[in-house]
């Protein structure tokens, strides 16, 4: 018996990265999984090797709310129910505010925020019946600001606060709403940073664990939040960030201790 046997799970953005790892995790754990993304061929790749009877490949654009309603309707007509909705699909476009086009702003907000709001509206009648749960993929960028990333920061901040607000609204009905807030996770999205060694070093030196995550390390936390092990967890934005957000933002001064006349194993009053 696997922990999601008989459960029906929708994962958006399942062709790549965190979404692909999450879809596979739920399939490994016995669920029926609806895999959404724009690219159908990549979804076939993600689900290959799994029982086709437990898979529904549903390609389409999550920023289109008519599409989202069709995805939900077809999920229910194929599998009869929905237990878990994972709103993962997202994009990031960086740049200073005056360098960001109006089109990019709208694309980010539609892909990262409208998609989450309208997917929840469409799936909610079914989640209320199953007393299911929603997991939104926010970001550490939704918990604080970054340089030159205001549109993405705004979109993920919206996802994080939507998560909190709906946890309050829906909790009494037995539907839990949570988010994960990943830090740097090696996927297609981080490829441009990975190709720039000096910049990647800057990112990694801020992470107490000294490395970025692999997508499976985020997927396992999403699965935890959806599971029977998390039945009293509601409204959290759980950082999956190697400790990045444990910092108050001050620099790591360890390398400079000797300049103040003491070694790392001794103390000094400042």
- Which are the catalytic amino acids? 152
**Token code pair at residue 239:** 């950082």
The least distance separating ligand NDP from the CB of residue 247, rounded to whole angstroms, comes to 17
Closest CB to ligand NDP among residues 19, 132 = 19
Of 108, 114, 124, nearest in space to 62 by CA:
114
**Token code pair at residue 17:** 């990265």
- Distance, C-alpha 16 to centroid of its chain: 12
Q: What order of strands is seen across the sheet that includes strand 133-137? A: 55-59, 32-37, 8-11, 84-87, 133-137, 176-182, 237-240
Report how far apart, in Å, the C-alpha atoms of 184 and of each of 11, 58, 179, 204, 245 are. Answer: 20, 28, 16, 8, 12
Cα separation, 231 vs 160, in Å, equals: 20
Binding interface with ligand NDP (CB under 6 A): 12-13, 15-19, 36-39, 61-63, 88-92, 111, 137, 139, 182, 184-185, 187-190
**Token code pair at residue 118:** 């309208």
First-last CA distance in the chain: 58
The DSSP call for residue 110 is: I
Of 36, 33, 28, nearest in space to 12 by CA:
36
The least distance separating ligand NDP from the CB of residue 48, rounded to whole angstroms, comes to 16
């Amino acid at each position: 018996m696997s922990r999601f046997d008989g459960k029906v799970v929708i994962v958006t953005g399942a062709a790549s990265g965190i979404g692909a790892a999450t879809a596979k995790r739920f399939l490994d754990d016995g669920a029926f999984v609806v895999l959404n993304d724009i690219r159908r061929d990549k979804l076939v790749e993600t689900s290959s090797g799994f029982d086709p009877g437990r898979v529904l490949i549903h390609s389409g654009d999550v920023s289109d709310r008519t599409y989202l309603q069709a995805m939900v309707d077809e999920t229910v007509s194929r599998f009869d129910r929905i237990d878990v909705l994972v709103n993962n699909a997202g994009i990031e476009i960086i740049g200073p505010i005056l360098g960001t086009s109006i089109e990019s702003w709208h694309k980010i907000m539609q892909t990262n925020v409208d998609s989450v709001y309208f997917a929840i509206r469409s799936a909610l009648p079914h989640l209320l019946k199953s007393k299911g749960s929603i997991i939104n993929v926010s970001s550490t960028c939704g918990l604080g600001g970054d340089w030159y990333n205001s549109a993405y920061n705004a979109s993920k901040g919206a996802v994080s606060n939507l998560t909190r607000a709906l946890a309050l609204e829906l909790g009494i009905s037995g539907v839990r709403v949570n988010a994960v807030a990943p830090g740097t996770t090696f996927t297609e999205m981080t490829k441009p940073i990975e190709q720039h060694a000096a910049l990647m070093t800057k990112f990694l030196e801020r992470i107490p664990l000294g490395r970025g995550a692999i997508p499976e390390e985020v997927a396992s936390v999403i699965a935890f939040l959806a599971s029977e092990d998390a039945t009293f967890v509601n409204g959290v934005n759980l950082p999956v960030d190697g400790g990045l957000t444990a910092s108050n933002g001050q620099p790591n001064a360890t390398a400079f201790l000797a300049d103040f006349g003491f070694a790392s194993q001794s103390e000094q009053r400042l």
